Amino acid sequence: MRRHLHTIIGALVFGFVMMGLSAESEAARPNIVLIMVDDMGFSDIGCYGSEISTPNLDRLASGGLRFRQFYNTGRCCPTRAALMTGLYQHQAGMGHMTGDFGRPAYQGHLNDQCVTIAEAMKPAGYYTAISGKWHVGSAPEHWPLKRGFDRFYGIPEGGGHHYRLLPGRHLVIDDTAIDVPEGWYSTTAFTDYALRFIDEGAKADKPIFLYVAYTAPHWPLQAPAEEIAKYRGKYKAGWQAMREARFERQQQMGLFDDNVKLSPIDPKTPDWSKLKDVDEMDLRLATHAAMVHLVDEGVGRIVDKLKQRGLYDDTLILFLSDNGASAEGGPTGFINAKRGDPKAKTGTPTSYVSFGIAGANACDAPFRRYKMYNHEGGIATPLVAHWPNGITPTLRGKFTPAVGHVIDLLPTFVDLAGIDYPSKSGDRTITPTPGRSLAPVFAGGSIDRPEGLFWEHQGNAAVRIGDWKLVREHGRPWELYNLAKDRTELDDLSKKMPDKATALKATWKAWADRVGVEPWPVKKRKGK
């Protein structure tokens, strides 16, 4: 009888323990707010060296962790595909943009051999929402609600304007296209709906996964006049002075090791002292700054809403950019007469202007190159991670040397939520993720990735294994760099160490063959 009673008591205790562990597991699932901006340069926020006022991001950085070496894929759609699926973009069907080349790695939308973050998190009880730019499938059958999201507000096809829609673009709520309301501005609207979705998730009493994908500061350079005015005149010393000031701040805050040097100004950048339109160049940079500042205000509103809902301490907030700053438009940028009024003042709702190579090179300080390239200026992004209940307190306000990539985000989220990465989804077989969880980094650890990281976009290519990086521009020779000694890629070692370069090239080629990389330009298969 006594033994039987002990058995009953033991069973009850075990049951209570398991109930407690189950409840603890539920409670331990953090909310996740993933914020990605569009075409923002590496040095465009204060906590990475900028003169632009970003107090909300700076506060997250001082209470969180900043990555020195975090990577995207170098361009919009590929980064969004890799971020959303934990796969290299070619594996997810997005080897280029949203055009269909009739090839599995270049079909122009997410394929059926991947799961999105939302598809992985929703079955585990997460409320899943996106506000902003989707751009991984333009047709309605590829919109977010078909890929695991509960709610969607934004533009499926991408951005292209901040006050209205371009032809062929749609503003969508869930699966329904709506008219753009009077007074609409993209950054404000995407923030408004992000707050609404936080409220909905909180009311549903579910852990939240919220993806906020701003279209700022992507061209066209547009912002309210009163915001632009705050930055007018700040850039009249020129692009090089801007680069040097940012690099000096980066050194002072300890972002880079002492051996890092500021790269030379891009050779296509005009001589500032010989410009006839200095005021216009100042205006373009001021408008860009205003756009970044307004994103920061949106981040502040999101933080306030999380605090209001009592969710702040157990929410992982991540902030990053999809690629480096955009050099599109030649040396000093374009004025697009087809999409805007060429006589309109830069920054106004009817203008359509970019800041070109010179602006991008300054915003990506201290690196070489910019969006679309696989040099550091194209693929290196800030990553600010903030999570009061999850990041080791001794790491707060510090930089981590850990090397990460957007393919690591989905593995991180499922790890933190206690979810297994699926091998199947319904009758679909899912490609295993090459990504790694960043959870050890939040505890002061590191990431083991002996196989390295890989890139390819429009024939630009790179591989990084450890501190060694092999990189090329399309149609040009491979370059070899030791990033531990030369983060800004100034000392090409390919001729001094040909065996190392050859080995890395072979490793890249094996990866490219495995994931379906095609020579650029990709030939479209007939019938597609």
| 3-class DSSP assignment, residue 198 | helix
Neighbours of 66 (CB within 10 A): 24
CA atoms lying within 13 Å on the CB side of residue 47? 26
- Rounded distance between C-alpha atoms, residue 230 and residue 307, angstroms: 29
DSSP 81-106: HHHHHSS-TTTTTBSSSS---SSTTB
| 3-class DSSP assignment, residue 173 | strand
Q: Using an 8 Å Cβ cutoff, are 203 and 182 in contact?
A: no
DSSP single-letter state for residue 222: B
Q: Where are the alpha helices (DSSP H) in 230-277?
A: 239-253
Q: Which amino acid appears at position 200 of this protein?
A: E
Active-site option among 90, 96, 135, 218:
135
Q: Which CA distances in Å does 437 have to 379, 406, 449?
A: 20, 11, 11
Q: Which amino acid appears at position 4 of this protein?
A: H
- Rounded distance between C-alpha atoms, residue 323 and residue 369, angstroms: 11
Give residue for tokens 């539920």: 26
- Examine the residue annotation and report whether 76 is marked as an active-site residue of this protein: yes
- Examine the residue annotation and report whether 77 is marked as an active-site residue of this protein: no
Closest by CA to 47, choosing from 32, 33, 67, is 67
- Rounded distance between C-alpha atoms, residue 294 and residue 57, angstroms: 11
- Rounded distance between C-alpha atoms, residue 221 and residue 325, angstroms: 12
Calculate the CA 17 to chain-centre distance.
41
Q: Using an 8 Å Cβ cutoff, are 74 and 58 in contact?
A: no
Residues noted as catalytic: 76, 135
